[in-house]
Structure 1
């Protein structure tokens, strides 16, 4: 990568400048009077420039946008020094070339598209790191919070599926902008949220969402969960109902459901084991991020990069693996303790599209979703006709319409 090559050149230049500084400092002790002061000052300047170049090299390697300007400034100065030292009469052309060649190489590379993309990625990481962090009792969660222009007491909280950042909901949130306070978040280990130790099963994930909800003031609360986020919001809604804090409604978007036997079969267990074995190595090599780019196709540009950055790091892959370990047990727990009927409306959205390989599983999941809607006193089942599993990306308006219906 060009950025890596630039970083290496900057480090070599830093070593050279520091070497000159050390040599100058040694020479200074052989000087007398004012000469020693001037020589020591020159040595200090060289050492300071060396430190500056080390920081610029580290910044370029980490994708810090400011590092390009730092590299440019030094290379222009270095070319000036090369021109000043060029003197064919004294046969020191080699010194001018030694200064000029690396400077020209860096100037040729620093505006390449790959470097621009790399620095833009670093800028996005800085933007993500600037997201508000909410303390939930010893750990912090990165929260995406869009205040409402109207209906300040209405809050919609989005829970992502396994392995996905809270930024995954941005297309749905755009559809709902201004109608309520919209809150999504990165679960522990994703994005800039603090990682969590120990069990990360369904109960632990519900604990985090429950704690986050306690930091929000709401008159009406709608919980929206996609995939594995569905059981999480269902469990939290059950807890709140037991405390007399029933939610206004639930929107379950193609949720995992204990009524589908596919989650307890050998095929799911094998897929689960393979994912846990491969996700961290794929994250280390950067291939996991590429896979996310394929899965998240409806997202583009900076939004796609933001979701992929938060979801495909090594820390996020470990968090996803820890959650995956608790999926089957979590669904078994829901199966063993059925939910009591509630007056709160529940909408279950199913993706209607399937491929040849998952046609049977898709049909079984839709049937489970239909039963889930029937079991709720005010249940409703909705088909997203143009979507498979990723309804929030392919048909965000379907999700947004159901949220609006609950808040009407």
Structure 2
């Protein structure tokens, strides 16, 4: 039987941030999506995790059902919103999970909330261990992508494209929500704003990092290069491995596929790694997954 999902809002001074909660248990799992994406990133993972934990997914400003933010979308602004929703919705030990650009968000958040966040899961994250020029070169197509989304949304052409690309792994109501909400002008403008602020924000993260929380940490890499002897060419996977080495209790695993969108392609892998962390947090607090 599916776990019931509840929708609500966190009220800030001038806008609302939308979130959905599901499941129950002594440990919370709080999710952060990647750049330009909504809670729909976790549409396949949240129901699996809600079977053994209290879960929260939310929409960053301008995405999903959250109000836009006219003050910009740099890293610090995204982090402040993340912490606002976390503080309003989590009242027990917590595991935070971040995909892509959400990775550094949850790691920094863990350093800001050491009494609440007890473990971190990273899913093919963007890592400030990488040199900014290398990261920006790897993402050189992003300007075209996010700019094109604005044009396609105006022409009412983005919705079907999202259904055939990023969200093709979803079905039914989850698919409808994802493509309708992801093709609004608010959503594509928010994504464009996040990208425009990324270069400066990432450089600042690199210069002040690496930001490694003092908690159990698991990082999952896309399997871009299957050959063990050639994996040194995967600079992002190497950064993930280094993050695990720097953590007090770190684990680095590879996904089966090379797709960056692991939460949608391999949700059971992500849920399994989260369950292990929930078990560790539960054992430390005297309880565990149901």
The answer to whether residue 188 in structure 2 is matched with residue 317 in structure 1 is yes
CA 1:277–1:135 in structure 2 vs 1: closer, same or farther (change >3 Å)? same
Asked if structure 2 preserves the Cα contact closer than 8 Å seen for 1:263 and 1:328, the reply is: no
Structure-2 residue corresponding to 1:166? 39
More off after superposition, 326-335 vs 179-188: 326-335
Once residues 108 and 213 of structure 2 are traced to their aligned partners in structure 1, the CA distance between those partners, rounded to angstroms, is 13
SS at match of 2:242: helix
TM-score w.r.t. structure 1 length? Answer: 0.62
Deviation at 1:300, TM superposition (A): 1.7
Structure-1 residue corresponding to 2:246? 375
Structure-2 residue corresponding to 1:366? 237
Q: Which has the higher contact order (CA 8 A, sep 6+)?
A: 2
Unaligned runs of at least 5 residues, structure 2: 1-5, 280-290
Once residues 133 and 271 of structure 1 are traced to their aligned partners in structure 2, the CA distance between those partners, rounded to angstroms, is 34
SS at match of 1:141: strand
Deviation at 1:310, TM superposition (A): 1.6
Structure-2 residue corresponding to 1:257? 127
Of 266, 284, 289, the residue aligned with 1:395 is 266
CA 1:301–1:209 in structure 2 vs 1: closer, same or farther (change >3 Å)? same
The answer to whether residue 166 in structure 2 is matched with residue 286 in structure 1 is no
Q: Any idea what the Cα deviations from partners look like across 1:102-151, whole Å, max 9, x if unmatched? A: xxxxxxxxxxxxxxxxxxxxxxxxxxxx9422213332111111131xx2
The answer to whether residue 205 in structure 2 is matched with residue 334 in structure 1 is yes
Once residues 210 and 130 of structure 2 are traced to their aligned partners in structure 1, the CA distance between those partners, rounded to angstroms, is 16
Once residues 142 and 266 of structure 1 are traced to their aligned partners in structure 2, the CA distance between those partners, rounded to angstroms, is 30
The list of structure 1 runs, each at least 4 consecutive aligned residues, that deviate by more than 6 angstroms after superposition, is 359-362
Structure ranking higher in helix proportion:
1
Of 210, 221, 226, the residue aligned with 2:83 is 210
SS at match of 2:218: strand
Structure ranking higher in strand proportion:
2
Of 20, 28, 39, the residue aligned with 1:144 is 20
Once residues 267 and 213 of structure 1 are traced to their aligned partners in structure 2, the CA distance between those partners, rounded to angstroms, is 33
SS at match of 1:171: coil
Asked if structure 2 preserves the Cα contact closer than 8 Å seen for 1:189 and 1:316, the reply is: yes
Aligned residues: 270
CA 1:171–1:265 in structure 2 vs 1: closer, same or farther (change >3 Å)? closer
Deviation at 1:237, TM superposition (A): 1.3
SS at match of 2:28: strand
Structure-2 residue corresponding to 1:43? none
The answer to whether residue 51 in structure 2 is matched with residue 191 in structure 1 is no
